[in-house]
Structure 1
Amino acid sequence: MEVILTEKLRKARKYIRAIFIIGTFLSIFLLLLTAGILAYAKLQGPPPLAVPQSAIFYANDGTVIGEMHHGEKRYWVPLEKISPYLIKATLSIEDKQFYKHHGFDGKRIIGAAVADIKARAKVQGASTITQQYARNLFLEHEKTWTRKLHEAWYTIRLEMNYDKGKILEGYLNTIYYGHGAYGIEAAAEYYFGKKAGELTLSEASLLAGIPKWPSRYSPRSNMEAAKKRQQVILTSMVEDGILTQREANKAYSQPLSVKKLVRKETLKGASYFFDAAKSELKKELHLTEQKIKTSGLRIYTSLDPRLQTIAEQTVEDVFNPKTELQVAFVAMDQKSGFVKALIGGRDYDQSPFNRATQAIRQPGSTIKPFLYYAALENGFTPSTSMRSEHTTFTLNDGVSSYTPSNFNHYYANDSITLQQAIALSDNVYAVKTHLFLGQDKLVEIAKRAGISTPLKKVPSLALGTSPVKLIEMVNGYSIIANGGWEVQPSFIKKVETYDGEVIYDAARERKRILDRDTAFLTTQLMTGMFDPKLNGYTTVTGTPILKYLSRTYAGKSGTTSTDSWMIGYSPELTTGVWTGYDRDKTMDMVEERGYAKKIWALFMEEALKEEAASSFKPPKGVTAVYIDPQSGKLATPGCPISKLTYYKRGTEPSEYCTDHLLYEEKKKEKSEKTEDPTWYDKLFKWLN
């Protein structure tokens, strides 16, 4: 019996020794395996934390004008800008041991397993915040062992390479809060119209309960269930020593006002601006639409909501609502090139085609300022005279001919000055100038002034027969307005990443591309359309809108059978308006042809009403003298009208006007004859 017992003990010791040895080897193996996994996770480096984030477009006053996202509204905010109440509530209900474990909570795993076994169903989750974050970042949500293994691997990588604060920040910015709101910033805005950092304890404890079951615990879908979940969270916070029972009761009983869902009233034309800004973003940063939608960019645009509103209201007030006439509008800061307001059509929903940036139309006489800039650069002065009369031009081939005509076939049948020619929009004078300079001069100046659309070198180019875009015309006028400095139309001021890194800044070095003095003289010539002193065989072209204007402007209108334009500027702002039909329908009504001018005038006055009236400041290279507008010579006391006119120094007229000497003598003689007789003269006449 003793032998049998001894044999059993010997076998038992043998088994125990074997178990110990195997256990030791297994422990060493598991230890080495764990170390290897951790080492490999560290060697692989930090996993990317990029998640699809909404791009936000801001106006220049900070208001949001649009967003781009990939079906998920998500905005990233740093942990320090999230309400501490939300952080504490989330940790209390989702992962109490977050700062103690290394990605996995053994106690929760065992507790969840026991609960599931008892219920014979999956009733309790064991995932830590790190595990949930890994799932949100990298994985699909299917319930398979492969997904579980991947989740565990990503969890280890996160814990090995990021601190707890970064993991918690990522989790709160990626978790789903229902109704398309991803991340706490989107949720705070959607439910309460607040930023994440502004949430109260009551609001935070309510939101912290939503991720468990978004469709059920959303206060917008089921307030009763949401409040029950809130009670669970507040109770948990009391048990964790975060709150007193009194604080919890107060937070629970505090009335909550969930933000009403209302359709945002957007600026109608801002949709066209928004599209133009997106196009510029793609061009400047070489981003695809997909990249823009998912990169969480903050795009700060140049849109001025006040000016945009004024523009839209002005168009609505001026247009006959029944007409099919279309409109394009651009207002630009001529010093920077930033577009302040833009309208690409009358209804974006019906036609998103942007007529301000995409349509190519004949500019008519609005091309003439570039022609006359070229003339001034090549020896012309405001006093240069040519005859305005019906003229047929024989072209260089000696066979072809061209016969331009003035509006309503009115001609001076006499000489007129350059100053008067632009004010009256004399077409014969323009074509004579164009052919005299050479047809390449206008093309060259227009190109220097930012007109990128190819122009045809033909005689009629002087009358605007070669189509261009409104925005490039406004840009060209802006360059003249700012004294010749290069600017380009720009809709975006700055672009930042979600964490504040500036990746694009529109500020750029500028160079002067037009002569300052010549640009100023061109501006002065363009003020003539608003000056009745230059009336001649017809009235100045700005006559119909003079009643609306109260300050100094420079501008030029243009009309073809299918297009009506008005482009002009003050010292602060350049604005262009086009009206016409999309399909080459002619504008037969006089009222329709006047819309562009009226929109321009009313907009400029309203846009600048808060600005002190100012004038264009002459550079040092010019001088001013009073001239007779008809002859272009120095005015004398006999001239019925004299106008202060600017010239490049040394080119001003030196000859005085003699056209009105006879008029002065007759005036003097008449004055002497009608002089009232004295009482002595009357008495002498009576006695005789």
Structure 2
Amino acid sequence: MSYHWHRFTVNWNPQQWSLTKRYAKTLKVFLGLGVAVLTVRSLPYLAPIRASDIVQSQQAAEFTDRNGLPLGTVLTRDQEHTVSVPLSQVSPQFLQAIIAAEDQRFYHHGALDERAIVRSLLEALQAKQIVSGASTITMQLARMLENSPRTAQAKLQEIWTSWRLTAGMSKAEILQAYLNRLPMGSNIYGVEAASRIYFGVPASDLTLAQASLLAAIPNDPNRLNPYDHLLSLKKRQSYVLNRMVQDGYITRNQGDRAYTEATALQSRQQGIVAAPHFLFWLADQLPAHHPAQVRTTIDRPLQQFVETQALQVIRSLAPHNVHHAAVLVLDNQTGNVLAYVGSPDYFARTQLGQNDGVQALRQPGSTLKPFLYQLALENRTIQPNTILADVPTRYAIPGARLYSPSDYSETFQGPVRVRLALANSLNVPAVKTLEKVGVSTFLDRLHQLGFKHLTQTPEHYGLGLTLGSGEVSLWELAQAYLTLARQGKALSIKCQGLGSECKESKEQGTGKGERGNRSPIQNSKLKTQNPSTWLLVTDMLSDRYARSRAFGVDSLLALPFPAAVKTGTSSDYRDTWTVGFTTNYTVAVWVGNFDSAPMQKVSGAMGAAPLWNRIMLHLHEQQEPKPFQAPTGLVQRPICAVSGARPTSACPAVVQEYLFPEELATYEQESDRFFPTVNGKIQLKLPADYNEWLARQPKNLSSATMELRIVSPRSGDRFVIGKDDPSQRLEFKLAGTSKTAKTAIEWRLNGQPLAASAANTFFWKPQAGTWTLQVKQGQQIDQIKFEVQTIQARPTRKGFSFVSK
């Protein structure tokens, strides 16, 4: 016995012992991995997702107009707000079809289908690309809940959520949540909403043909939309039916009959009679537990008239590359929304019809000017008889070119009254007024008026704010003009029920991408101490004769009853606006393109005004509105149309204008600075700001003698010229010369005579130095100083450049 034990000890192999230790170590690794896997798979049970956690919050809402007429039923808007039904109310044929198409082994695997994953990987390796996916219904539901991009990290999150769903919900609960969130094309979600919208039947009544067609859509909702891609959808339906045959749900004959069966689709309007943009927008404002029927403030006959007119006007403007429009009509007394048109045709998907032009952010052009002038008048920055200079003007912008505002006509009117500057929408006077008021002060006023999307700094907008450098919505514009129509008394816009206010509108894009970061603004209420300036601006906007220079007396803006109106056109003719009101209604119209493509020189008067005109005439067919109230607390006096002062015999035109009572003493006592008496003669003497404008005028402004003046160069100008360039010439130009004067014009440069002639221009070959230019005709003398510097001339560019101090 001892001998055998001795032999065993002696013949034992140490290599075998090492091998045994290696197996033991490997076993430990596998055991460790197993424990880790079990631990990870156990974690979802610590944080399960239960059916009660993902209940969809809102159901269908049936909308009516103010008189109870039906507008339509909004069944679905997104995966959270749709018609949710239990599995018992879904056709068994649809259940079979969706499982066959999306997850054949749904009832036989957990959150993941390992067999499908292996198959997908093998197919991908063989084809060197992804051939088929391996997402289960549970994983698809997880993706719907997470709504994250398809990245590796998102895929891991999707798997984790799938495990949590499996841990907390039964197969029936997962399938029910999945069916009620299915993307079914456009903004339709869930089988019940899709069944009602496409076929007009509840999901419980779907036939095999209808069920297999609907089950085909979720594979690619955009490219398989039955209204736009029916042929592609039929191909996918064939795939669904074949899978149902393979899985034994139906026979081949049943599948063939279902495929050939005609399935009539309902109208694209999805059961909506009118105001689709408004209904979908308002549905987002409803509380979670809203009544089944919602009465709105919409007037359905008016809404349908506006929708028809918008479509007709856009069709007439199509040759000018105009394709979209939006309209908002408000009741001035109540603030009720009477008509809301977001686009000419909501259901024209290929024409971006679902974009909402009422809520979209666009550049407002000149439509903000009335609020600038009202503020300037209220602050007494300007007076009603102030004369504003509509002349060439340049502003130095740090880090940018000189800013030179001008009108689309690229002409300048010279001295203009505030009334004419506003009514004719002149840009330079508006910019000059904003310069006096202050961009920050004006921006604060716009915030008070409800422009909540102007959230950038005053420096960001600059002086272009009054010309539309910011972005606002038609909704905000209509609300501000409603305040103007109500003499500065703000009133919230109402959308439903008896006096129920609309909630704050959600920010809408325009198809141009993100707008950048916006910081919230500090809201403050508008405080109106005196309605006089609001009434005065209304008086100016309703003055058809004041706007005649730009629009004519009998334009589309001139109605057969009192109406105040303002147009706007953004840069490059991308947006046109017409917003106006009577004592009864406020109507705001936008016309343009949702993709921001420029129109072919279509201004506000040509684009939006025709639609505004039709709506206003229709609103007042039965009864004309009352006239606007005259500005209270102001007095009317005659003023000189050129100078704004009390008229003298030299004034070429006299008009009536309102004045503040506290300015009457100044009006009576001050002399007319534009028409002073010099040596017993009345002369027209404009400030130096008008020099460049005067130089462009072919004749004098009036029969009064104009003061002799050098208008070019200006005193303090500096010129840089190329050295030894004989072709360069500098023009000296005068204003106020008398063609009947017996004496010639004498030109002197640094005291040395240049010439004597009757001409009011003289060309001089520039030379380096500091020069004093003097001109004399009879008893009149004027002189200015300027400087000329030389640089080495460039062979490719001749002439001189001008630098103004």
Q: Quickly name the TM-score band, shorter chain normalised.
A: 0.5 to 0.7
Q: Specify the code of the residue in structure 2 equivalent to 1:559.
A: T
Q: Aligned to 1:443, what secondary structure does the other structure show?
A: helix
Structure 2 CA distance for aligned equivalents of residues 541 and 461 of structure 1:
27
Q: Which stretch shows the higher mean deviation, 631-640 or 312-321?
A: 631-640
Q: Aligned to 2:305, what secondary structure does the other structure show?
A: helix
Closer, same or farther: CA 635–610 of 1 in aligned 2, 3 Å: farther
Closer, same or farther: CA 463–519 of 1 in aligned 2, 3 Å: same
In the alignment, structure 1 residue 320 sits paired with structure 2 residue 318: no
**Correspondences of 1:605-616 after superposition (within 5 Å):** 605-616=617-628
Q: Specify the code of the residue in structure 1 equivalent to 2:392.
A: H
Structure 1 CA distance for aligned equivalents of residues 309 and 671 of structure 2:
45
In the alignment, structure 1 residue 618 sits paired with structure 2 residue 630: yes
- Give the counterpart of 1:550 among 543, 557, 560: 560
The equivalent residue for 1:432 is 432
Shift of 1:381: 1.9
Shift of 1:483: 1.3
Q: Specify the code of the residue in structure 2 equivalent to 1:470.
A: L
Q: Specify the code of the residue in structure 2 equivalent to 1:431.
A: V
Closer, same or farther: CA 635–278 of 1 in aligned 2, 3 Å: farther
Asked if the contact 2:74/2:279 (under 8 Å) is kept, the reply is no
Q: Aligned to 2:328, what secondary structure does the other structure show?
A: strand
Q: Aligned to 1:594, what secondary structure does the other structure show?
A: helix
Structure 2 CA distance for aligned equivalents of residues 649 and 514 of structure 1:
19
**Structure 2 spans left out of the alignment, 5+ residues:** 1-56, 76-81, 86-171, 173-199, 205-265, 504-523, 676-681, 684-700, 705-805
The equivalent residue for 1:62 is 68
Structure 2 CA distance for aligned equivalents of residues 458 and 605 of structure 1:
38
The equivalent residue for 1:301 is 296
In the alignment, structure 1 residue 484 sits paired with structure 2 residue 488: yes
- Give the counterpart of 2:657 among 626, 645, 648: 645
In the alignment, structure 1 residue 601 sits paired with structure 2 residue 602: no
Q: Aligned to 2:667, what secondary structure does the other structure show?
A: coil
Shift of 1:598: 1.0
- Give the counterpart of 1:654 among 667, 675, 682: 667
The equivalent residue for 1:514 is 528
Structure 1 CA distance for aligned equivalents of residues 365 and 267 of structure 2:
45
Q: Specify the code of the residue in structure 2 equivalent to 1:654.
A: Y
Q: Specify the code of the residue in structure 1 equivalent to 2:537.
A: T
Shift of 1:462: 1.6
Q: Aligned to 1:556, what secondary structure does the other structure show?
A: strand
Q: Which stretch shows the higher mean deviation, 306-315 or 560-569?
A: 306-315
The equivalent residue for 2:803 is none
The equivalent residue for 1:462 is 466
The equivalent residue for 1:336 is 334
Structure 2 CA distance for aligned equivalents of residues 634 and 614 of structure 1:
33
The equivalent residue for 1:277 is 282
Q: Deviations 1:52-83 (Å, cap 9, x if unpaired)?
A: 9863322112211122456599xxxxxxxxxx
The equivalent residue for 2:545 is 532
Structure 2 CA distance for aligned equivalents of residues 639 and 645 of structure 1:
15
Structure 2 CA distance for aligned equivalents of residues 438 and 264 of structure 1:
49
Asked if the contact 2:567/2:604 (under 8 Å) is kept, the reply is no
Shift of 1:543: 5.4
Asked if the contact 1:299/1:494 (under 8 Å) is kept, the reply is no
Q: Aligned to 1:480, what secondary structure does the other structure show?
A: helix
Q: Which stretch shows the higher mean deviation, 583-592 or 431-440?
A: 583-592
Asked if the contact 1:628/1:642 (under 8 Å) is kept, the reply is yes
Shift of 1:262: 11
Asked if the contact 1:330/1:343 (under 8 Å) is kept, the reply is yes
Q: Aligned to 2:662, what secondary structure does the other structure show?
A: coil
Q: Aligned to 2:282, what secondary structure does the other structure show?
A: helix
Closer, same or farther: CA 614–394 of 1 in aligned 2, 3 Å: same
Q: Aligned to 2:550, what secondary structure does the other structure show?
A: coil
Q: Deviations 1:482-501 (Å, cap 9, x if unpaired)?
A: 01112223211349xxxxxx
Shift of 1:400: 6.2
Q: Specify the code of the residue in structure 2 equivalent to 1:532.
A: Y
Shift of 1:638: 9.8
Asked if the contact 2:652/2:702 (under 8 Å) is kept, the reply is no
In the alignment, structure 1 residue 375 sits paired with structure 2 residue 376: yes
Asked if the contact 1:565/1:596 (under 8 Å) is kept, the reply is yes
Shift of 1:609: 1.7
The equivalent residue for 2:596 is 584
**Correspondences of 1:137-176 after superposition (within 5 Å):** none
Asked if the contact 2:652/2:703 (under 8 Å) is kept, the reply is no
Shift of 1:632: 3.0
Q: Deviations 1:10-66 (Å, cap 9, x if unpaired)?
A: xxxxxxxxxxxxxxxxxxxxxxxxxxxxxxxxxxxxxxxxx9986332211221112
Q: Deviations 1:605-629 (Å, cap 9, x if unpaired)?
A: 1111212332111364333345454
Asked if the contact 1:273/1:343 (under 8 Å) is kept, the reply is yes
Closer, same or farther: CA 267–601 of 1 in aligned 2, 3 Å: farther
Closer, same or farther: CA 452–542 of 1 in aligned 2, 3 Å: farther
Shift of 1:360: 0.7
Asked if the contact 1:267/1:308 (under 8 Å) is kept, the reply is no
Shift of 1:406: 1.6
Asked if the contact 1:555/1:566 (under 8 Å) is kept, the reply is yes
Q: Aligned to 1:407, what secondary structure does the other structure show?
A: coil
Q: Aligned to 1:342, what secondary structure does the other structure show?
A: strand
**Structure 1 spans left out of the alignment, 5+ residues:** 1-50, 74-141, 143-177, 183-260, 496-503, 667-688
Structure 2 CA distance for aligned equivalents of residues 637 and 268 of structure 1:
66
Structure 1 CA distance for aligned equivalents of residues 402 and 428 of structure 2:
14
**Correspondences of 1:325-404 after superposition (within 5 Å):** 325-350=323-348, 351=352, 353-379=354-380, 380-395=382-397, 401-404=402-405
Shift of 1:180: 5.2
- The normalised TM-score by structure 1 is 0.52
Structure 1 CA distance for aligned equivalents of residues 276 and 470 of structure 2:
29
- The normalised TM-score by structure 2 is 0.45
Asked if the contact 1:471/1:489 (under 8 Å) is kept, the reply is no
Shift of 1:647: 3.8
Asked if the contact 1:524/1:646 (under 8 Å) is kept, the reply is no
Q: Which has the higher contact order (CA 8 A, sep 6+)?
A: 1
* C-alpha RMSD over aligned residues: 4.1
Closer, same or farther: CA 280–642 of 1 in aligned 2, 3 Å: farther
Structure 2 CA distance for aligned equivalents of residues 400 and 264 of structure 1:
51
Asked if the contact 1:635/1:657 (under 8 Å) is kept, the reply is no
Q: Aligned to 2:384, what secondary structure does the other structure show?
A: coil
Asked if the contact 1:486/1:513 (under 8 Å) is kept, the reply is no
Q: Percent identity?
A: 25
Asked if the contact 2:635/2:660 (under 8 Å) is kept, the reply is yes
Structure 2 CA distance for aligned equivalents of residues 181 and 56 of structure 1:
19
Q: Deviations 1:450-501 (Å, cap 9, x if unpaired)?
A: 1111254311112112111011011001101101112223211349xxxxxx
Closer, same or farther: CA 269–436 of 1 in aligned 2, 3 Å: farther
Q: Deviations 1:165-196 (Å, cap 9, x if unpaired)?
A: xxxxxxxxxxxxx96599xxxxxxxxxxxxxx
Q: Aligned to 2:388, what secondary structure does the other structure show?
A: strand
Closer, same or farther: CA 392–591 of 1 in aligned 2, 3 Å: closer
Asked if the contact 1:384/1:632 (under 8 Å) is kept, the reply is yes
Asked if the contact 2:298/2:337 (under 8 Å) is kept, the reply is yes
Shift of 1:534: 5.4
Closer, same or farther: CA 392–272 of 1 in aligned 2, 3 Å: same
